[in-house]
Structure 1
């Protein structure tokens, strides 16, 4: 039965449409995540396919792709490496150096960053020294490391430590200084001790900045580790890659490069995942 003035009686259609819209909104993030993953995989596959076309076709278009190994040659070389124990020994040695150097840099960098960010005295004493050392590339310290340490292993770890230290230290220092003073004032009025201020205000507040520095530090650590292994190492992915270059084994060179990229990707992903877990309380934006 129709109502006056052309108005219809309310029905369940409005409720159904609202529910449908809500379901679509809930499923949209899931779809966008899968689309993003597909695009990422497709971009890598497209790059690999283009590499194969350019190298197999001996293309010379300003760049000499005909001198580079094809994808099939690299894959075959990779298979040979995976069947040898030397490959896994090199990977393990590089990972041990990264974990040791980066781990030390994470601890020292966070503690030093908090100290420099909260103490004017520490900033006056050590701040200028840190800023003088920071621009020096870690790889330029290889001669110093050779003179300082009795073994190549200690020197390589030192280079890795130095490379990743300053990104962590600077990010932590900036995050500490950026904390609103009202947070500390508020908890102090409630009778909090200095230790409680650190554990309940400072540390939780700087975590996003700390993990940003850790992420950058991990990437820099890999760059300098590989360079140090090429110069003074006897084991490791960097050393093996350089050895392959000296004997003109270019497929093996690319095996080393790919291995470095994969290891760097995985370790950076671990740092990012740890950061997300530790800062679960932060709001997350859903990619559209």
Structure 2
């Protein structure tokens, strides 16, 4: 904050120009992610434009978030674009495609998790990307994701035109330890299961049971998972455990080494004709998994995610 002339040591003399500029720069400097590992970028779908607030605070060892605002409801967007209920495979695959694009562009992201209309991107704990400025994390990921969503839309919704440009709200969260990060991702996957089980039961009652939405909500209000499973199985012959893993578990994106075989034309000598030769290369690619992240087996199978030298 600038010091008023009346409180300066030289009794009423104005601070020199350089001091005033330095003070103002310090006040409005974009906050950076200091001393805390695992910046996590969280995106969720809206139908408006991202409008992040002014970022002025520094994060000094305390988890905090940078929030955007949503202009329209995600439910309105889904309704207007005729999404299938309770799950639209096209929409989920499009979200995965956009998240893969983000990870391929921003190599400091070590793992991502997505379900429904949201995606979380975990940056490496030692990432110095854009000098760890939270505003850069949020705006760059959000803009990359939103542009990919529009660019790839036609690949998944060939018969449904995009009626208006969608936008994404985003926030940056800090987690100080490996266990905190595991707990966060476990929470998001548990949330995926709870919401999907409810939506599966709700839309079965509406679409197959013929109940109005208000009655379906009243029927499910206060019920536990066992009751919802029983309704699905006894009334609609739906075994929830047979539902696609992507719906029940969400999608985990990880870096994996894969063998790629390509064909090259090789000319062995100046007089010889070109011949085709198969060449095998090892590359790191972003691969989607639909698996459990709550237990330890996932982390034991992918120790590189939390490795300091990743």
Same topology, TM > 0.5: no
Q: Which has the higher helix share?
A: 1
TM bucket, shorter chain: under 0.3
Q: With structure 1 as the length reference, what TM-score do the two structures score?
A: 0.22
Greater share of strand? 2
